[in-house]
Amino acid sequence: MSLAELRRLFGDRLIEDPVIVALYSRDASLEPRPAGAIGVVLPESEEEVVELVRWAVRNRAPLYPQGSATSLSGSAAATSPGVVVSFERMARMELRPEDGIAVVEPGVRLEELNAELARHGLFFPVDPGSAMSATVGGLVASGGGGMCGVRYGTVRDWVLGLRVVTGRGDVLKIGCRTLKCRSGYDLVRLFVGSEGTLGLITEAALRLAPLPESAAALLVYYDDVEALAGDVARVRAGRVWPLFAEYMDAEASALVGLERRHALFIGVESPAGAEGAALERLESLLRGEVARRAAGWAAAAGLLEPRRRLFAAQAARAREGGGVLVVEDVAVPPSRLAEAVRVLRALAERHGLPLIIGGHVGEGNLHPATWCGADGGQRLREFLRDVAALVAGLGGTVSAEHGVGALKRELVALELGERALAYMRELKRVFDPHGILNPGKVV
């Protein structure tokens, strides 16, 4: 394919240096190993995105949309020669605090958005582990969640409307900019989590939440996961709605400098000045050993710091072991959580793989992490298939918040069956008849 027209349209915002292009071709996942893009385009407007898609249609050139490339499922990797579309230059935001919404372009980073919203006593409450680098476009496309999901859900609960450019080169305005909207089919939900396979997001209208006055949080240790899961259930039964409920197994805790025991990080929102009462209420429902207490919004966020460091610590341990980290993303009913942890560990032992588990325990969302050398790829694939079968047997899902990407296409087929996937492929053809948008992903 010729890039001459793109050079004319984008000038120095078309990157062709092979070293830089190779960096953009990867994301944070292990597989697939990208074939490498032939260029990177940095559009600055919706009109330029339309021109780019029309060029791709004429040339049957794959386009790989990308935010900050933190995907762990391969959804942001260039898996065949094509063009990476980086939205880093589309980062304008319009705040409407009186309406409770923000209208933002896809390149806006969550950290920057929340810094601006805090001036108005508001925040966007979806809090992925990659919040410091994640962009709105990437989060919406992946259907991401995060550490406050037990209280605020995932991104699909906070997107009111979108503007997207389809694989036909058409601009669609879907959803609304109002807190209530019931106009036709809910195409917004269809595009949230579609991982760039149906259209390129150029604008998102986001619902906002009041910034809590304060918070209170605890770090609690347990000697077995059954006791930890029981405490989480007791909190629910006690009519307490946690702000976060995060889990690390004993190996994970030791890796980030805590005691080698199962750890629960649990917090609640609180009015200013009432943090002490909130802590007392929370402690009254727990049977574990309270190791740390935090009163205040900043202190509660600081209590979570070891949990936020887990991914980097796991990646470092994997490199020391001569392998590349693979972080799974599964969810089971919370009532099956302890059982899932036990069986996951037994599976890893059977396959001869290390295993470190963290996750969003309040939602039954676990992130089992493992690694192996270049000679263990088949063993790893068999392990992932066994994990999928385990999760399905427990009434869960193989993809809770990281997306399907290229890594989990086969696993999703095992979960949903071929008939559901056939309907998804038909939807893909409606919005992307030429198959140019993020090919090789999801379906």
Q: Domain map of the chain by residue range?
A: 4-86, 93-210, 214-308, 310-419
Could you tell me which CATH number the domain at 214-308 has? 3.30.70.2190
Domain 214-308 identical in fold to domain 310-419: yes
What is the model's pLDDT at position 293?
98
CB 195 within 8 A of CB 403: yes
Give the CATH fold of the 93-210 domain: 3.30.465
On whether the 310-419 domain is CATH 3.30.2320.50, my answer is no
What is the model's pLDDT at position 54?
97
Per-residue three-class SS string for the chain:
CCCHHHHHHHHHHEECCHHHHHHHCCCCCCCCCCCCCCEEECCCCHHHHHHHHHHHHHHCCCEEEECCCCCCCCCCCCCCCCEEEECCCCCCEEEECCCCEEEECCCCEHHHHHHHHHCCCEECCCCCCCCCCCEHHHHHHHCCCCCCHHHHCCHHHCEEEEEEEECCCCEEEEECCCCCCCCCCCHHHHHCCCCCCCEEEEEEEEECEECCCEEEEEEEEECCHHHHHHHHHHHHHCCCCCCEEEEECHHHHHHCCCCCCEEEEEEEEECCCCHHHHHHHHHHCCCCEEEEEEECHHHHHHHCHHHHCHHHHHHHHHHHCCCEEEECCEECCHHHHHHHHHHHHHHHHHHCCCCEEEEEHHHCEEEEEEEECHHHHHHHHHHHHHHHHHHHHCCCECCCCCCCCCCCHHHHHHHHCHHHHHHHHHHHHHHCCCCCECCCCCC
**Residue linked to tokens 């269809």:** 190
- Mean pLDDT in consecutive groups of 10 residues from the start of the chain, 443 residues: 89 94 83 73 98 97 91 84 96 97 97 96 91 90 92 96 98 95 92 97 98 97 96 94 97 97 98 97 97 97 95 92 86 95 95 95 94 80 90 91 85 87 96 96 91
What is the model's pLDDT at position 35?
66
Give the CATH fold of the 4-86 domain: 3.30.43
Tell whether pTM > 0.85: yes
